[in-house]
Amino acid sequence: MLRTLCKSKIMGACITDKMLQYSGSIGIDKAIIEAADILPGEQVQVLNFSNGERFTTYVIEEKVRSGRMVLYGPAARKGEVGDELVILSYCLLETKEWHNFKQRFIALAKNNQLKAGK
């Protein structure tokens, strides 16, 4: 049986920019997506602590260590610059694979920088 599990969780992300005139997605600093084991184009669920919005989109890679967290296209209507986000990615695993599975939890510091030791 396949089960859907949380693969990666990015906590403490803050929106740095919005661009409505775009086809849609979320831009995330390359260093953050690499630490979280998320690929460009991968589907993510975005939770906005500031307004309660939840939406599904895909990731666009932003410049490494830029701290950029950008809502593009229709997603730009789901938050404001400075809003705090949690970003989740999921995977499908066979039940027997679960025992060897390790989730990635990434906490961000000020300016969307990886906390020391991450």
The answer, yes or no, to whether residue 118 has pLDDT greater than 70, is no
* pLDDT higher than 90, residue 116: no
Domain of 59?
2-93
Residue of 25, 66, 72, 89 with catalytic role: 25
Q: Which helix (H) or strand (E) holds 35?
A: helix 30-35
In angstroms, the CA 101 to CA 103 distance is: 7
Q: What is the pLDDT of residues 6-51, one digit of tens each?
A: 999 999 999 999 999 988 799 999 999 999 999 999 999 999 999 9
25 is catalytic: yes
Question: In this structure, is residue 9 part of a structural domain?
Answer: yes
Q: What is the pLDDT of residue 23?
A: 81
- What's the CA gap between 5 and 58, in Å, rounded? 17
In a domain, 102, yes or no: no
- Mean pLDDT of all residues in 102-113: 96
Q: Is 17 a domain residue?
A: yes
- Evaluate whether residue 37 is within a structural domain: yes
Note the pTM of the prediction, 2 decimals.
0.93
Residue 76 domain-assigned? yes
Does residue 118 fall inside a structural domain? no
58 an active-site residue?
A: yes
CB burial of 28-47 (b: ≥16 within 10 Å; e: otherwise) equals bbbbbbebbebeeebebebb
Residue 113 belongs to a domain: no
Q: How confident is the model at residue 117, as a pLDDT?
A: 59
Indicate the residue type of 10.
I
User: What domain count does the chain have?
Assistant: 1
- pLDDT, tens digit (0-9, with 9 covering 90-100), for 46-72: 999 999 999 999 999 999 999 999 999
8, 23, 50, 58: the catalytic one is: 58
Q: Give 117's contacts (C-beta < 8 A, 6+ positions apart).
A: none
Phi, psi of 76 (to 5 degrees): -60, -20
For the CA atoms of 48, 62, 26, 70, the dihedral, rounded to the nearest 10 degrees, stands at: 60
Percent of the chain exceeding pLDDT 70 equals 98
| Residue 79 maps to a domain | yes
Do 41 and 92 meet the contact criterion of CB atoms below 8 Å apart?
Answer: no
What's the count of helices (H) and strands (E) in the chain, helices before strands? 1, 8
Question: What is the CATH number for 82?
Answer: 2.40.40.20
